[in-house]
Amino acid sequence: MRIQFIYPESGYNKYNNLTLINGRYYHGIGQLSAFLKQNGHDTGLIHIVNEIDIEKVESDIRKYDPDIICLSSTTHMLSEIILINDLLEKEFSDKTTIIGGIAISIEPELIDRLKGFDYAVIGDGEIALIEIIENLKRSSDKKISDISNVIKRGQKKERINVRCHKEFDELPFGDRDIFDFENTDDYKLFKRLPMMTSRGCRFSCSFCSNSVLRKYYFKDTYLRFRSPKDVCDEIAYCIQKYPEIRSIQFQSDLFFDNKEWLDDFVKEYKRIALPYHCLMRVEQVDKDVVKLLKESGCEQVLMGIESGSESTRKSIGKTPKTKIIFKAFELLKRNGIKTGSFNMMGFLKETTEDIFKGIYLNAILKPDLIQVSIYYPYKNTLLYDQVKDMLYNKHYHTYFERSLMKEKYLVKNFYYFYKNYEYLMRFINEKKDSRLFWLWELLIKNSLVSEKILRRNKPETFRILF
């Protein structure tokens, strides 16, 4: 059969002010396409990077003439999802249409609002898509509805169980050709190779989609790791195919889960010998881990701090003890490994002091990269239930725009913080100066001063303080 994927990343790029030209490679579609090809099917992709042109989408679908149309999306793509849904309902009602990806996986009830789609696939899609295809060949709609992680529009399922490959090494390498990888920004602009070592996460941050997805999986099937050999085999294959690769970007929520896996990875990665970046939790960082990271060529580790307040971190499932964060960053820096901090603001009951504790913490840690996002309440997550009655009836394309919570639930002058907080953090990052303690105290004690300072957007405003 001919399966056409649609991936609309245009909204995220537009509202995040990114300068992407040809978009990025996305593992989900690449893995699904490779698996379908391995099973004898043809695949195509409509990769929407710039502002969506619905007439062109229609033209591309007709040109490819697929048997099945699959849309993969995130929650932030809701505007694009609706446009594509309307097109499919009006012009392609004769095609089998499927929606997958994180948006539908955390909010399965969304399928009943999207009348252009016949089915929703929740969680891992490899086995589900093959079973859908086999049943379409037999014209057996009833059997499709019986697939444990497939929902037919209008169907109510009491329990969703995701069937998935527990052993990743059985899956083929991701299909980068479907994205024209040589022309993606990952390769053409950054000379990097996006890679995954795992799916899932063993932590349960209350704002994260992992807290929703885990409940759909049988025990020991949610967090799965590829073997280090399989990971390095794919990297070696890609380096041979795309010789301008200069670094590896591991994008898994957890780069590793135990030291045995990391030790095996270090041995395997010697044949790769390229610098890499990865994501970790601060709790994972100790002397033995840092030694292995250094030995294998790790260039930078990115970790989620989220808040400078211990009570806030505890409430959202992040490391509560600040001393653990200090230790992790200090160990990495001492061994010449760059660091990056992810920070989040806009939590319920967050105070002005909590916000500036985050500024102060970053000023002391001096990470090489700082990202500041605004809490985005994803449907059905643990934290969503606490704030769902306090939200605007809208969504944003990114978690960098502004809060979805109504202003009365946020601290005084919060919108000034939205516009200036990331700038201030970047300034800290640029200066690498821990004397911001004085600035922190000043702003907490005098809200009028904080408003005056934060309203300005010139570096000179802060240089007078040092």
In a domain, 414, yes or no: yes
Lowest-pLDDT choice from 74-83, 233-242, 348-357, 380-389: 348-357
Give the Cα separation of 127 and 114 in Å (integer): 23
In a domain, 165, yes or no: no
Residue 456 is predicted with a pLDDT of 44
Same domain assignment for residues 144 and 204: no
Residue 364 is predicted with a pLDDT of 83
pTM of the model: 0.89
Neighbours of 368 (CB within 10 A): 17
Same domain assignment for residues 138 and 195: no
Picking from 86, 121, 152, the residue at the C-terminal end of a domain is: 152
In a domain, 96, yes or no: yes
Picking from 97, 125, 152, the residue at the C-terminal end of a domain is: 152
Tokens coding 401: 């725009």
The mean predicted confidence, pLDDT, of the chain is 87
In a domain, 158, yes or no: no
pLDDT tens, residue by residue, 361-402: 888 888 998 888 889 999 999 999 899 999 988 888 888 888
Same domain assignment for residues 146 and 195: no
> What stretch of H or E contains 362?
helix 352-365
* Rounded average pLDDT over 10-34: 77
Angle between helices 414-431 and 447-455 (to 10 degrees): 70
Give the Cα separation of 86 and 73 in Å (integer): 15
DSSP state of 408: G
CATH code of 43's domain: 3.40.50.280
* Rounded average pLDDT over 165-186: 92
Picking from 152, 175, 208, the residue at the C-terminal end of a domain is: 152
Same domain assignment for residues 245 and 107: no
CA angle at residue 459 from 341 to 421, to 5 degrees?
40
* Rounded average pLDDT over 40-58: 94
User: Among 249, 229, 233, which Cα is nearest to 187's?
Assistant: 249
Angle between helices 352-365 and 322-334 (to 10 degrees): 20
Same domain assignment for residues 353 and 244: yes
Residue 448 is predicted with a pLDDT of 38
CA 269 to chain CA mean position, Å: 25
Same domain assignment for residues 83 and 201: no
Same domain assignment for residues 294 and 441: yes
Residue 459 is predicted with a pLDDT of 36
Same domain assignment for residues 90 and 13: yes
CATH code of 209's domain: 3.20.20.70
In a domain, 162, yes or no: no
pLDDT tens, residue by residue, 259-281: 999 999 999 999 999 999 999 99
Lowest-pLDDT choice from 7-16, 23-32, 270-279: 7-16
Answer yes or no: are the C-beta atoms of 70 and 47 closer than 8 Å.
no
What is the number of domains present in the chain?
Answer: 2
Containing structural domain, residue 430: 191-463
Phi and psi based region of residue 61 (left: phi greater than 0; alpha: psi -120 to 50; beta: remaining): alpha
Same domain assignment for residues 19 and 148: yes
In a domain, 172, yes or no: no
Q: What is the largest distance, in Å, between two alpha-carbon atoms of the chain?
A: 74
pLDDT tens, residue by residue, 112-143: 999 999 999 999 999 999 999 999 988 776 78
